[in-house]
Chains A and B, each alone.
Chain A
Amino acid sequence: MPKPIIPGLLASLLAAPAFAAPAEEGSGGMPQFDFENVAASQVFWLMISFGLLYLLMRAMLPKVAGVAETRANTIGGDLDAADKARLDADTKQEAYEASLASSRARAQGLIADAKAEAAKANEARMAEADKAAQARLAAAEEELNAAREKALGKLDAIAADATKDIVEKLTGTRPADDKAAAAVASARV
């Protein structure tokens, strides 16, 4: 079976139309080389169609180029606008931050002021209270002194009495009041 295949293929190859072609037509099988009958009409119609197409394309291509250019411009413009907007946002953010910082500083100042004022008021009140306390202290001291004086005065009298009693008991005679008082005073250094 495999034997006849290759000669068979060769036979069919040789029988193929390509190789039979020259025999079919007398003068040159290829229509391409038959210029006398073929060239004029082809070149004529080629000139018409190609020329027309060239004119059409000349009219249309600027539109295509224009669209591309518009697109490039639009994209460029959009990019620029975006850039500008970003810059704008940046400056705005900066301004916002600055204002935030300034208001924070102001708040800080207010707080400090309030603190200082409160401290001053506190101090004043404290001073007042201090004064009042001082006054009361002084009054109390004075009272105490008076009381002591009084008590001391009474002590003299008691001492004099005690002296009179002691002297009476010792001597039997009761000294005079002024003598006893003098003695007490002298005894008290």
Chain B
Amino acid sequence: MASPLEQFEIKPVYPIEVSGYDLSFTNASAFMIGALVLIWLFMFLGMRKAELVPGRWQSAVESIYDFVHGMVDQNIGPKGKKYVPFIFTLFMFILVANVAGLLPYSFTVTSHLAVTFAFAALIFVMCIIIGIARHGIHWFSYFLPPGTPLWLVPLMIFIEIVSFLSRPITLSVRLFANMTAGHILLKVFAGFVISLGLAGGIWSVVAVLPLIMNVALYALELLVAVVQAYVFALLATIYLNDSINLEH
């Protein structure tokens, strides 16, 4: 029987190699491009007419936009308007990748640490660049919360720096681990269904139990897929806010 980890395997479709780097077009790439096309179609077909009184599709597009816009507005404020497209793209890409990954035989782009870490590193670098561009050297005062007693200063700076540096790790590992764990769990329970069903006799009847469990887990994974996309986008917004609006 196939391993539950087989679903995470990268299979090259069209090998490409550039200066020693393996940049093959793989199944992961196919799902990334698929997500791109899917989101573009969703947006394009929804906003094709851009009517004053929206149809169902258009209101779906608009409500997602309103959702992201509201999130950015609430966390960053008016200065965040510039970053709405970025957060929107991030949210939609992760959401579509997560949900598409739940389809049978599909590949989950976000279940790879390389991908989630690339996102997290992008946000991390953006935070530093925006922070320094906006506040200059003053931005480093972020690492010293105001009102710290003098004797606590070294410790606080150390803690703040560690928590700042751990952001990309938590951000990427959270998404990766949620997706990976959920998919492994689904596959393991599916494996139970198969092996119990093939065992024959009373075991074939017992096989219904993991099947029910699998259906329930699938619903949970659907929820997790949406919540993790939201959490990722929300945390990206909050991290950007720390760089845009320096509170002290």
Contacts and interface: CB of A to CB of B under 8 A. Distances in A.
Do A and B touch, yes or no (CB under 8 Å, in the complex)?
Answer: yes
A57 B35 CA distance: 13
Contacts of A41: 10, 12, 16, 21-26, 28-29
B84 interface: yes
Contacts of B219: none
A38 B29 CA distance: 11
Contacts of B88: 57, 61
B89 A46 contact: no
A43 interface: yes
B196 A18 contact: no
Contacts of B176: 32
Given A17-B187, A50-B93, A52-B36, A42 B62 contact: no
B192 interface: yes
Contact of A46 (B50, B84, B118): B118
A31 B9 contact: yes
A45 B25 contact: yes
B188 interface: yes
A55 B184 CA distance: 34
Contacts of A5: 206
A38 B9 CA distance: 9
A48 B191 CA distance: 36
Contacts of B52: 67, 70-71, 74
Contact of A42 (B3, B9, B26): B26
A187 interface: no
Interface in A25-47: 29-33, 35, 37-47
A61 B23 contact: no
Contacts of A16: 188, 191-192, 195
A37 B26 CA distance: 12
B126 to A, nearest CB: 12
A21 B191 CA distance: 13
Interface bin, chain A:
35 or more
Contacts of A17: 1-4, 187-188, 191
Interface string A66-109: 11101100100000000000000000000000000000000000
A30 B180 CA distance: 10
B4 A56 contact: no
Contacts of B39: 53, 57
B22 A42 contact: no
Most buried by B among A13, A53, A70: A53
B230 to A, nearest CB: 17
A74 B21 CA distance: 55
Given A56-B36, A65-B65, 17 more contacts: A16-B188, A17-B3, A18-B5, A29-B3, A30-B5, A31-B9, A31-B10, A32-B176, A38-B112, A40-B21, A41-B12, A42-B26, A42-B115, A47-B118, A57-B43, A57-B88, A64-B65
30 contacts: A5-B206, A9-B206, A16-B188, A16-B191, A17-B1, A17-B4, A17-B187, A29-B3, A30-B5, A32-B8, A38-B10, A40-B22, A40-B23, A41-B10, A41-B23, A41-B24, A43-B115, A43-B118, A44-B23, A45-B25, A46-B109, A46-B115, A49-B29, A49-B32, A50-B89, A50-B119, A61-B88, A68-B66, A70-B52, A71-B52
* CB-CB nearest 10 A-B residue pairs: A45-B29, A39-B114, A49-B32, A49-B36, A58-B85, A21-B3, A40-B21, A31-B8, A54-B89, A44-B23
